[in-house]
Amino acid sequence: MQTVTVAGGNLFQIAARLLGDATQWIRIAQLNGISDPMLQGVATLQIPNVDPSAGGGIAAQ
């Protein structure tokens, strides 16, 4: 796991850049207790380890 600090942006871009799959944005959101993928201001996020087998995009019900 790694930690990154970002200024604005969205979790789709971050997941694409750091996890290699934009649909895995939900993993970042869940790890950080975020429900909105659009970020405002400066945020420090924990990024999960890369997992090519992880599906993404839809939170478990």
Phi/psi of residue 45, nearest 5 degrees: -120, 145
Q: Is 80 exceeded by the pLDDT of residue 52?
A: no
Buried b / exposed e over 34-43, threshold 16 CB at 10 Å, is beebebeeeb
Return the pLDDT at 56. Answer: 63
* Percent with pLDDT over 90 in the chain: 75
Return the pLDDT at 53. Answer: 72
Q: Give the domain ranges of the chain.
A: 2-47
Each residue's pLDDT tens digit, 12-21: 999 999 999 9
Return the pLDDT at 4. Answer: 94
- Report residue 37 CA to chain centroid gap: 8
Q: Is 70 exceeded by the pLDDT of residue 61?
A: no
